[in-house]
C-alpha cells in the first residue's frame, strides 16, 4: 500500500489522519452531548446525533410518526439534531398548553429557515422571523378584518352572513358540477373541483372575485399547493443542511416558482384595489386591510404603519392558507364518508330530521346537528392532516417541564402525537365520531372536542379557524343533504397520508348520486 504522505517516527501519515478523524468525531459527539445547563434544570434528552447529518436518518418519510415514536422513549420534551442544528420537539397536550399558552411569548417566534425566507421574499405574516411590534400589528389587522368580514350580513338574503352566502353559492355550484361529471363520465376527481370551489370562497372574501372551474390559469395556480406543502413541511433537510440549498432539487425549484406565481397573482389584485378603493364602502377583506392600515393607530400600544407591500403579503398569506387547508379537510371528509358509508347515512338521517329537504343547511343549524359536528371533529383528529404547526422558535432562554431550553432553538409542535395519544383517546386509530358526543348523543362533549389539536394554540394559533370551521360545516352539510357519495365498484381506497405541511391522501375518483331531484337555487 502506498502511504499518501510521509511518516512520523514509525506512524504513517495515513494513520495520523485516521486518528484525527476519529478524535474529531468523538469530540463532536461529546461536545453535542455535554450540555451546560443552569442549576436546578435538566439538559434536554434525545437520541444520539451522527456528525453532520444529526438524526436526519431517523426522521424517515413520515417525521410525525418517527417523532411520535421517539416521544415514547424520551418524553414530551426532547431534542433532536437535523444536520448540525438542534431542534426541540414538543408533544403531549399538557406540555403544549404549558409552552404555547402559559409561556406564549417565549414560544411565539418563527425560526430563520431557508424555505421561510423564500415565501413572500421573507416578508410573510405566517413564516417570517418577525414576531415583534410589526408582526403583532399585522396579525391584529388581519384578525380584525377576518372577524369583521365574517360578521358582515348578506345583502341579498336575510338572516345569513356574506361568508355564508359565498360558501352556499359555491357548494351549490359544486353539486351541479359533480352531477354533470357523473352524467358524463360516471365518476370525478373530487379534489380537483373542491379546490377551485374553496379557493373561490377565499377569493370572494379577500378580493370580491370568483373564477370559473374552466379558467386554466386559476385551476393551475390553486393546484400547485401540494408542491408548496412538500417544501414548507417541518423538517425539510434543506432548512437544516445548508449545502442542500445549492443542490438542484425539483421540489425547491417548484417551490420558488410557486411563491413567485402566488406573489404576482395577489400583487396584481391588491394593486387594483388600491386604484379603485372607495373610502365609503368595504367590498372585501383587501379593502378592509387597506382602509384600516391607513388609520394611525393599528395597535393600542404603537403607531406602526404598514406599507403597501406588507398589505400585499397579508393578502397573499390569507389566500394561501385559506384554501389549501380547507380543501384538504373537505377532501379527507369525502374519503372517510365513502370508506364508512354507515357514518354517511347517519349524518344524512340527522340532516333529514333537522333540516328536511325544503331548505338548505345554515350556520345557525350547527348546534342541532351534533353527529355531523362529531364527524368533523373526528375527521380532524384522525387525519391530523396538519401534523405539525408551522415551526416555532424561542425568544429567550426558558425552562419547560424542568428542562432547560435555550433562546433561538427551532421548535416542532407535534399535533399528530396529541391526536393519537392513547392516554387521551380510547382506540386512537379507530374512526369513531361518537367519541365526541355526550352520553345521550344530543350535544358535543366540550372537554373532548377541546383536546383535538388542529389549529395550534396561543399567540400563533390559526387566525382563520372560525372561517375554516364554517366552510367545512357548510360545504359538507349542503353536499350531503343533496348527494350520496360512493367509492367506485370494488375499489380499495388507500387512506395513507403523504407527508407535508398539509398531508394529502392519494387522489381517487369517486362517484355519487343525487338523493332527490336537484333543489332550485334561491
Ligand atoms: C381546516 C383549515 C385550517 C387548518 C387546519 C389550519 C391550521 C393552521 C395551523 C396549524 C397554523 C399554525 C399555527 C402555529 O404555527 O402554531 C395556522 C396558521 C395560520 N393560518 Fe390556518 N388553518 C386552517 C385554515 C385557515 C384559513 C381559512 C385561513 C385564512 C382565512 C388561515 C390563516 C392562517 C394564518 C394567516 C396563519 C399564520 C398565523 C401566524 O403565524 O401568526 N388558516 N393554521
C-alpha cell belonging to residue 246 = 445549492
Q: How far apart are CA 347 and CA 329, in angstroms?
A: 17
The CB of 126 under 6 Å from ligand 1? The reply is: yes
Give residue 404's pLDDT: 98
Atom of ligand 1 nearest to the CA of 385: 5
Atom of ligand 1 nearest to the CA of 126: 40
The CB of 326 under 6 Å from ligand 1? The reply is: yes
Query: If we measure between CA atoms, which residue out of 388, 384, 417, 403 comes closest to residue 71?
Result: 417
The CB of 320 under 6 Å from ligand 1? The reply is: no
Of all protein residues, the one whose alpha carbon is nearest to atom 21 of ligand 1 is 462
> Could you tell which of 315, 418, 462 is best to mutate to test the pocket of ligand 1, judged by most ligand atoms within 8 Å of the CB?
462
Local structure of residue 112 (DSSP, 8 states):
-
> Could you tell which of 129, 199, 325 is best to mutate to test the pocket of ligand 1, judged by most ligand atoms within 8 Å of the CB?
325
> Could you tell which of 389, 464, 466, 474 is best to mutate to test the pocket of ligand 1, judged by most ligand atoms within 8 Å of the CB?
464
The CB of 315 under 6 Å from ligand 1? The reply is: no
Of all protein residues, the one whose alpha carbon is nearest to atom 27 of ligand 1 is 322
Reduced to 3 DSSP states, what percent helix, strand and coil does the chain have, rounded to the nearest 5?
Answer: 55, 10, 35
Query: If we measure between CA atoms, which residue out of 496, 239, 229, 251 comes closest to residue 388?
Result: 229
d(CA 460, ligand 1 centre) in Å: 8
Give residue 455's pLDDT: 98
Local structure of residue 458 (DSSP, 8 states):
G
The contacts of residue 375 (CB under 8 Å, 6+ apart) are: 333, 336, 343, 347, 433
d(CA 315, ligand 1 centre) in Å: 13
Give residue 22's pLDDT: 67
Give residue 239's pLDDT: 87
Give residue 6's pLDDT: 44
The CB of 468 under 6 Å from ligand 1? The reply is: yes
Segment 443-451 long-range contacts (CB within 8 Å, at least 24 positions apart): 443/367, 443/370, 444/370, 444/373, 444/374, 444/377, 448/377, 449/377, 451/93, 451/418, 451/424, 451/425
Q: How far apart are CA 318 and CA 47, in angstroms?
A: 38
Q: Is 393 annotated as a binding residue?
A: no
d(CA 208, ligand 1 centre) in Å: 21
The CB of 318 under 6 Å from ligand 1? The reply is: yes
The CB of 389 under 6 Å from ligand 1? The reply is: yes
CA angle (262, 479, 491) in 5-degree steps: 90
- C-alpha 237: how far from chain center: 19
d(CA 278, ligand 1 centre) in Å: 30
pTM, to two decimals: 0.91
DSSP E strands: which ranges in 24-94?
A: 77-82, 85-90
CA dist 518 to 134, 150, 166, 167, 357, Å? Answer: 50, 29, 19, 18, 10
Q: How far apart are CA 381 and CA 257, in angstroms?
A: 33
The CB of 199 under 6 Å from ligand 1? The reply is: no
CA torsion angle for 282, 287, 291, 292 (degrees, to 10)? Answer: 100
Atom of ligand 1 nearest to the CA of 467: 27
Q: Which DSSP string corresponds to 78-89?
A: EEEEETTEEEEE
The CB of 100 under 6 Å from ligand 1? The reply is: no
d(CA 443, ligand 1 centre) in Å: 27
Q: Which DSSP string corresponds to 395-440?
A: SS-EEETTEEE-TT-EEEEBHHHHHT-TTTSSSTTS--GGGGB-TT
Of all protein residues, the one whose alpha carbon is nearest to atom 42 of ligand 1 is 464
Q: What is the residue-level pLDDT of the chain in tens, covering all 522 positions?
A: 434 434 455 677 777 667 766 666 665 655 555 568 999 999 999 999 999 899 999 998 999 999 999 999 999 999 999 998 999 999 999 999 999 999 999 999 999 998 888 888 888 889 988 878 888 888 988 998 898 888 888 888 888 888 999 999 999 999 999 999 999 999 999 999 999 999 999 999 988 888 988 899 898 888 887 777 777 777 788 888 888 888 877 778 888 888 888 888 899 999 899 888 887 777 888 988 888 776 645 555 556 667 788 888 888 899 988 889 999 999 999 999 999 999 999 999 999 999 999 999 999 999 999 999 999 999 999 999 999 999 999 999 999 999 999 999 999 999 999 999 999 999 999 999 999 999 999 999 999 999 999 999 999 999 999 999 999 999 999 999 999 999 998 788 889 999 999 999 999 999 999 998 876 655
Give residue 5's pLDDT: 39
ipTM of the complex: 0.99
Are the C-beta atoms of 160 and 362 separated by less than 8 Å?
Answer: yes
Local structure of residue 99 (DSSP, 8 states):
I
Look at the chain and count its residues: 522
CA dist 314 to 2, 59, 486, Å? Answer: 64, 32, 39
d(CA 509, ligand 1 centre) in Å: 28
CB-CB neighbours of 269 under 10 Å: 20
C-alpha cell belonging to residue 15 = 494513520
Q: How far apart are CA 108 and CA 61, in angstroms?
A: 28
Query: If we measure between CA atoms, which residue out of 355, 286, 343 comes closest to residue 316?
Result: 286
Of all protein residues, the one whose alpha carbon is nearest to atom 25 of ligand 1 is 464
End-to-end CA separation in angstroms for the chain: 88
Amino acid at each position: 500500500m502506498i502511504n499518501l504522505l510521509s511518516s512520523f517516527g514509525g506512524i504513517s501519515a495515513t494513520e495520523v489522519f485516521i486518528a484525527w478523524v476519529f478524535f474529531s468525531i468523538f469530540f463532536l459527539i461529546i461536545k453535542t452531548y455535554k450540555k451546560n445547563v443552569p442549576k436546578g434544570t435538566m439538559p434536554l434528552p434525545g437520541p444520539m446525533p451522527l456528525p453532520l447529518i444529526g438524526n436526519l436518518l431517523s426522521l424517515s418519510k413520515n417525521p410525525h410518526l418517527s417523532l411520535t415514536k421517539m416521544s415514547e422513549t424520551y418524553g414530551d420534551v426532547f431534542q433532536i439534531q437535523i444536520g448540525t442544528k438542534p431542534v426541540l420537539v414538543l408533544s403531549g397536550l399538557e406540555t403544549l398548553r404549558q409552552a404555547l399558552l402559559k409561556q406564549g411569548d417565549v414560544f411565539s417566534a418563527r425560526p430563520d429557515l431557508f424555505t421561510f425566507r423564500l415565501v413572500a421574499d421573507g416578508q410573510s405574516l405566517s413564516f417570517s422571523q418577525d414576531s415583534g411590534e410589526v408582526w403583532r400589528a399585522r396579525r391584529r389587522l388581519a384578525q380584525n378584518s377576518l372577524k369583521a368580514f365574517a360578521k358582515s350580513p348578506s345583502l341579498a338574503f336575510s338572516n345569513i352572513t356574506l361568508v355564508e352566502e359565498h360558501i352556499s353559492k359555491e357548494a351549490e355550484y359544486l353539486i351541479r358540477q359533480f352531477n354533470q361529471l357523473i352524467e358524463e363520465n360516471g365518476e370525478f376527481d373530487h379534489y380537483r373541483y373542491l379546490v377551485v370551489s374553496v379557493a373561490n370562497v377565499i377569493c370572494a372574501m379577500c378580493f370580491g372575485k370568483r373564477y370559473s372551474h374552466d379558467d386554466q390559469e386559476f385551476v393551475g395556480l390553486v393546484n400547485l399547493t401540494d408542491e408548496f406543502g412538500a417544501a414548507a413541511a417541518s423538517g425539510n433537510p434543506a432548512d437544516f443542511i445548508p449545502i442542500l440549498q445549492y443542490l438542484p432539487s425539483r421540489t425547491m425549484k417548484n417551490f420558488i416558482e410557486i411563491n413567485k406565481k402566488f406573489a404576482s397573482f395577489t400583487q396584481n389584485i391588491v394593486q387594483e384595489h388600491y386604484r379603485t378603493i372607495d373610502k365609503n364602502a368595504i367590498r372585501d377583506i383587501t379593502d378592509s386591510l387597506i382602509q384600516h392600515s391607513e388609520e394611525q393607530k393599528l395597535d393600542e400600544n404603537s403607531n406602526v404603519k404598514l406599507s403597501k407591500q406588507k398589505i400585499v403579503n397579508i393578502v397573499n398569506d390569507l389566500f394561501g392558507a385559506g384554501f389549501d387547508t380547507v380543501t384538504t379537510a373537505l377532501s379527507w371528509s369525502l374519503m372517510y364518508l365513502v370508506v364508512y358509508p354507515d357514518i354517511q347515512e347517519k349524518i344524512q338521517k340527522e340532516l333529514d330530521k333537522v333540516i328536511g329537504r325544503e331548505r338548505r343547511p345554515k350556520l345557525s343549524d350547527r348546534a342541532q346537528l351534533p353527529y355531523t359536528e362529531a364527524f368533523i371533529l373526528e375527521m380532524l383528529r384522525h387525519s391530523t392532516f396538519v401534523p405539525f404547526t408551522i415551526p416555532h422558535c424561542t425568544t429567550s432562554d426558558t425552562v419547560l417541564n424542568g428542562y432547560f431550553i435555550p433562546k433561538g432553538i427551532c421548535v416542532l409542535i407535534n399535533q399528530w402525537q396529541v391526536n393519537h395519544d392513547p392516554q387521551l383517546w380510547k382506540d386512537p386509530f379507530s374512526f369513531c365520531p361518537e367519541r365526541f358526543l355526550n352520553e345521550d348523543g344530543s350535544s358535543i362533549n366540550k372537554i373532548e372536542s377541546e383536546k383535538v389539536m388542529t389549529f395550534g394554540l396561543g399567540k400563533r394559533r390559526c387566525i382563520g379557524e372560525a372561517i375554516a370551521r364554517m366552510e367545512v360545516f357548510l360545504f359538507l352539510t349542503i353536499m350531503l343533504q343533496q348527494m350520496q357519495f360512493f367509492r367506485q365498484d370494488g375499489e380499495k381506497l388507500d387512506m395513507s397520508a403523504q407527508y407535508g405541511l398539509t398531508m394529502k391522501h392519494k387522489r381517487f375518483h369517486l362517484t355519487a348520486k343525487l338523493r332527490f331531484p336537484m333543489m332550485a337555487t334561491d
